[in-house]
Chains A and B, each alone.
Chain A
Amino acid sequence: MHPVTEVHYLALSAALLLIGTIGVLTRRNIVIILMSIELILNAVNINLIAFSHAWGQTQGQIFAIFVIVDAVAEAAVGLGILIALFRNKETVLADEIDLLKW
């Protein structure tokens, strides 16, 4: 068995990013789209931690903390918008929300 190197982590992170992108682009349910965004942000974090470990520095972990803070803010605001939307339109399907569509 090969020893695990940074390349393994980068490949795993790329795969997670692609899975999250598929979720964002193809699902209709907004809750699951928000979950896919969390997957994408986690893929970024894996990359940051892998390089932080490879260079023996802590800066990458600091940036991962900031990414997590962003993810929290995004989830809170996104779910708030979702609740407001559901109260007005009675739907959580992304392609039925077309108020701005001409």
Chain B
Amino acid sequence: MLDTIFFYAFALLTLGGAILTITRRNAIHSAISLIVSLLGVAGLYLLQHAEFLFAVQIVLYVGGIMVLFLFVIMLVNLDQMAKERQFNRAWMVGLAAVAAVGAEIGYFFYRGQDSFKLPEVQPPPIVQGNTEALADVLFRQYLLPFEIASILLLVAIVGSVVMAKKRI
């Protein structure tokens, strides 16, 4: 019961924040709405017992990526951009394409109702915390992808410095 109430509250935060993000004229307002939306997603993680991802979502997204976004918004002068047209000329085409995809997904949900009934899985007995369990799998089974991800981050750091610097 309480789960249901919290799910709908977080869903409202997520979707409302998302809609405000893509409709606001001022980019700062968009960023604030995006923070609300990301916090809603973090709440959904908590409802699904993914506590580590909840912390990562807040620390990394709300604390890291959004600060980066706000920095860039301050750095780039967006004041005269806010006075211009906000949607491009082909917005009707975009909306039609999204409506088509949405109809497709809705049809899939309607036709595939039975296949969503997953077999009742008995969750394994909790012998360790969520973070411990994740670390076990991440550093044993997924060690190589983990290292590749760190190389990806290194490349991203170097790339963004090269892009943003005036003279190397």
Contacts and interface: CB of A to CB of B under 8 A. Distances in A.
Interface residues of A, number: 73
Contact of B44 (A3, A46, A66, A70): A46
A95 B90 CA distance: 10
A61 B153 contact: no
Interface string B133-153: 110011000100100010011
B160 A77 contact: yes
22 contacts: A4-B4, A5-B116, A6-B116, A12-B14, A16-B15, A22-B95, A31-B73, A32-B22, A35-B31, A35-B69, A38-B38, A38-B61, A59-B137, A68-B60, A72-B60, A72-B153, A74-B156, A75-B65, A76-B68, A83-B72, A86-B76, A92-B81
A39 B152 contact: no
Classify the secondary structure of B's interface with A.
Answer: helix
Interface string B34-58: 1001100100110111101100110
Interface in A1-28: 1-12, 14-16, 18-23, 25-28
Contacts of A71: 61, 65
Nearest to B1: A1
